[in-house]
């Protein structure tokens, strides 16, 4: 038995966008991974002391390959919790494969990351945009809406959402009156929104992230476009509500996994997070980073700090309870998330649909 206090230190890498446009999500993920490590290090039963190597991929594929190489070629790093941006995750899978570093993707949603290869090193705890849009289409058509206009940004995120939502919506019997691609840094949407005003859709579907979502929703109001605003996981952030104030009311959005506060351990996560006094919120994907980090540390606890053994251990993940629900990896090491949670903004908060006044019929989404 090693004496108490003489545990070996094991390093794991966290990679995400800490600077640039989506830094809020990267920092939330970083804090959550850090929290998981702190909690584990405070646990006397843990066999190892963990150290988090934090790297910034700037949401750029070339930088991602650099930092992934740095982490993967460093033999003291046993596993990684990696990437929020899909292009970066796509660019780095080969690096992890080459150097044999097992990683768990914590935020990137493009299906190809796990499904376009068969690398045993690559796992993912969050669901893909296919699951998300399937649920979204069925749910919103169930609310008796029939006509949509789609705005999406031209990144992989926005384009992917447009593709999968359009397919799912057509199957569910909805009608798309017009589709508009916009660049991720576009400021003015008068042209698109004026066109949409003429089309008179009941719902505007937006595939993109918070900054763009805030701009489009507020310009809808200025131009008098009356429609329900339906977003994707990319706008589920506190920044969205802060940016819009009362205009955010009634916005719909969808995210994989169960709502954190409703899961065993979820409340504890939020409380522990608050206790650490991180300057940033965990954001939508913080819980996924937390769950991924725990998954990695559990594997190391069981198999020891050896990349190949940790990889085998992660591959075997079945029915593991976590703050984002039960995790089971399929044959492509993709978490087959059974649950998509539906959110609506009510009184300046993202509220789970079932708990909202909208579900009980006390309030109604704006119809034309």
Partner 1 sequence: MPVAAWPALAAVAIGAGLAAALLLVHHKAAVLAVLAVGAALLVVAQRTRAGERAAASAAAHPRLVPVAVAACGLGLVMLLREDNFALLMLCTVALQTLAALGLHLQFGYAGVANFAGAAFLGVGAYTAAVLGGHLPSVLVLVTGAGLAALAGLLLALPLLRTRGHYAALITIAFGLLLRTFLEVNDTLGGPQGLKVPGFTLGGLAFNDAIVFDEDTEWSFYVPYAVLALALLGATHVLVRRLERSWIGLALDAVRVDETAAAAFGVNGGAWKIAAFCVGNALCGLAGALLAMVTGFVAPPSFAFGDSLVLVSIVILGGIGNPLGLLPAAFLVVVLPEKLQGLQEYRFLLFAVLVILVLRLRPGGLLPRRLRRWPGLP
Cβ nearer to partner 1, comparing 56 with 192:
56
Stated as kind and residue range, the H or E segment containing 5 is none
CB atoms within 10 A of CB 113: 24
Q: Is 55 in the site for partner 1 (CB under 8 A)?
A: yes
326 to 355: interface string for partner 1, x by CB under 8 A:
------------------------------
Ranges of beta strands (E only) in 63-125 are 77-82, 103-105, 122-124
DSSP string, 209-261: -HHHHHHHHHHHHHTT---EEE--GGG-SHHHHHHHGGGGTT-EEEEEB--GG
Cβ nearer to partner 1, comparing 31 with 303:
31
Tell me the closest approach of the beta carbon of residue 92 to partner 1, in angstroms.
8
Q: In this chain, which of 159, 195, 197, 309 binds partner 1, going by CB under 8 A?
A: 159
Q: In this chain, which of 10, 18, 104, 220 binds partner 1, going by CB under 8 A?
A: 18
Q: Is 27 in the site for partner 1 (CB under 8 A)?
A: yes
Q: In this chain, which of 41, 115, 130, 181 binds partner 1, going by CB under 8 A?
A: 181
Q: In this chain, which of 94, 167, 281, 298 binds partner 1, going by CB under 8 A?
A: 94
CA distance readout (Å), 237 to 83, 169, 186, 240, 253: 18, 25, 20, 5, 10
Tell me the closest approach of the beta carbon of residue 36 to partner 1, in angstroms.
17
Q: In this chain, which of 74, 167, 281, 298 binds partner 1, going by CB under 8 A?
A: 74
Is residue 201 within 8 A of residue 123, CB to CB? The reply is no
> Tokens standing for 49?
């002391």
250 φ/ψ sector (left φ>0, alpha ψ -120 to 50, else beta): left
Cα atoms in the Cβ-side hemisphere of radius 13 Å centred on 167: 11
Residue with tokens 């830094």: 23
> 111 to 150, contacts with partner 1 by CB under 8 A?
112
Q: In this chain, which of 86, 128, 135, 356 binds partner 1, going by CB under 8 A?
A: 86
> Tokens standing for 122?
């690559």
Tell me the closest approach of the beta carbon of residue 341 to partner 1, in angstroms.
26
Q: In this chain, which of 65, 176, 320, 339 binds partner 1, going by CB under 8 A?
A: 65
Taking the C-alpha atoms of residue 328 and residue 102, their distance in angstroms, rounded to an integer, is 16
Q: In this chain, which of 10, 25, 30, 225 binds partner 1, going by CB under 8 A?
A: 30
Q: Is 194 in the site for partner 1 (CB under 8 A)?
A: no
Q: Is 60 in the site for partner 1 (CB under 8 A)?
A: yes
> Rule CB under 8 A: which residues touch partner 1?
18-19, 23, 27, 30, 54-56, 59-62, 65-67, 69-70, 73-74, 86-87, 90-91, 94-95, 99, 110, 112, 154-159, 181, 183
């Amino acid at each position: 038995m090693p004496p108490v206090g003489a545990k070996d230190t094991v390093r794991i890498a966290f990679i995400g966008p800490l600077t640039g446009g989506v830094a809020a999500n990267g920092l939330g993920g970083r804090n959550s991974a850090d929290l998981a490590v702190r909690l584990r290090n405070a646990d006397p039963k843990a066999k190892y002391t963990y150290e988090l190597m934090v790297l910034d991929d700037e949401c750029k594929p070339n930088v991602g390959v650099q930092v992934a190489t740095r982490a993967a070629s460093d033999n003291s790093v046993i596993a990684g919790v990696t990437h929020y941006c899909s292009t970066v995750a796509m660019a780095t899978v080969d690096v992890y494969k080459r150097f044999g570093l097992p990683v768990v993707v914590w935020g990137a949603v493009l299906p190809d990351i796990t499904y376009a290869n068969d690398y045993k090193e690559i796992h993912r705890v969050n669901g893909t945009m296919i699951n998300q849009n399937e649920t979204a289409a069925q749910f919103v058509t169930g609310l008796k809406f029939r006509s949509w206009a789609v705005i999406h940004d031209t990144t992989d995120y926005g384009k992917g959402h447009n593709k999968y939502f359009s397919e799912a919506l057509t199957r569910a019997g909805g009608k798309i009156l017009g589709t508009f691609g916009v660049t991720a840094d576009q400021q003015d949407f008068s042209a698109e929104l004026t066109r949409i005003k003429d089309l008179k859709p009941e719902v505007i579907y937006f595939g993109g992230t918070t900054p763009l979502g805030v701009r489009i929703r507020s310009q809808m109001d200025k131009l008098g476009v009356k429609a329900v605003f339906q977003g994707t996981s990319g706008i589920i952030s506190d920044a969205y509500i802060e940016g819009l104030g009362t205009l955010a009311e009634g916005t719909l959005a969808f995210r994989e996994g169960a709502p954190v506060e409703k899961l065993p351990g979820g409340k504890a996560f939020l409380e522990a997070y608050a206790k650490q006094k991180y300057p940033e919120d965990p954001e939508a994907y913080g819980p996924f980073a937390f769950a991924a980090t725990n998954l990695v540390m559990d594997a190391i606890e069981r198999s020891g700090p050896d990349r190949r053994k940790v990889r085998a251990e992660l591959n075997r993940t079945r029915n593991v309870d976590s703050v984002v629900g039960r995790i089971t990896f399929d044959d492509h090491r993709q978490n087959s998330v059974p649950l998509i949670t539906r959110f609506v903004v009510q009184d300046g908060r993202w509220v789970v649909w079932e708990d909202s006044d909208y579900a009980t019929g006390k309030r109604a989404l704006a119809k034309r």
